[in-house]
Amino acid sequence: MRPQSPVPTKVVKKPPHAILDGLLSALIVVECIVVVGVLPLDQLGLLGGLLAVVAVAVGVTKRSFCVGGRYISQRFLKHLGDPLKKDVTMRKFTDQSWQLVIHASMTVLELYVLQDEAWWSDTTTQVRKDYLVMMAHHVVTIALVTLSFVMNYLPIGVLVLLLHDASDVPLDLLKMANYLKLEARQGFYITEVLFAIMLSVWLYCRVYMFPTKIIRSSMWESRAACAVPLETWDFTISWLGFNLMLLALYALHIWWTFLLLRLLYNALSNSGVHTAAEVEYEGRSDSDKED
């Protein structure tokens, strides 16, 4: 029988810094305005249609996972205390479900786009505690995707999206398994296995491949390695700004990697991934509200 671990001290989550929160939110609004400004009218209509489809898909996904998750939790996970019985846990679970579907579908789409390209193999021949960090990540990512479109850095932009979406898929699965408390022997060690897979994919995609493939190609290989063979912007200021944002994004990757390694240490030294995640990332919100 697994020894009972001490109950961790309840963590009170501090609200994000108001000024930084407002600044990052304003930057996202400005970037959205820029995106609307640089897209042709026909592509704006396409974007609006896609957003509507995504909104419907998100609603359907959340409802489906809510029904399915509640059934599985009540029918098969009673020995774990019906982990989705609380509204707050169910909301987290369903929110993670649509992110999983988005990341998985985008990874498949990006791999489809890349299947006939040599952007990976031969780039030189081609002419919830981390709220503010996540907001900064959104600001940098939106700017990178927008610049990759405007300046025709399409190969780099697609590869950046692929590395992020591919590494987010096991992360989404891990979070959902964690909400279901599928850890240790009674949970068939599913959370532990997913954590090992997630950390391996994360280190490979975001810590190793991002600098060795993306940043190296953008900063040190020829200008033609970063863009398709069409008319492109070749100003030094655009190259500098684009690469500074790549470096900023990599700095965020390193920070998140530190948090993941700290979570791993706490999970090994204390009481498992679920409790360590509550303390390190989620906070003790699951215990704050009852149905």
Tell me the C-alpha distance between 89 and 104, whole Å: 22
As a whole number, the mean pLDDT across the chain is: 82
Query: Mean pLDDT lowest for which of 3-12, 101-110, 181-190, 241-250?
Result: 3-12
pLDDT band at 257; cut points 50, 70, 90: very high
Tell me the C-alpha distance between 36 and 142, whole Å: 12
pLDDT at position 72: 96
pLDDT band at 32; cut points 50, 70, 90: confident
Q: What tens digit of pLDDT does each residue of 68-90 get?
A: 999 999 999 999 999 999 999 99
pLDDT at position 276: 65
Q: What region does 81 belong to: left with phi over 0, alpha with psi -120 to 50, or beta?
A: left
Cβ-contact 129, 283 below 8 angstroms: yes
If we measure between CA atoms, which residue out of 173, 194, 151 comes closest to residue 100?
A: 173
Query: Mean pLDDT lowest for which of 12-21, 52-61, 190-199, 273-282?
Result: 273-282
Highest mean pLDDT among 11-20, 123-132, 212-221, 263-272: 212-221
Global pTM value: 0.78
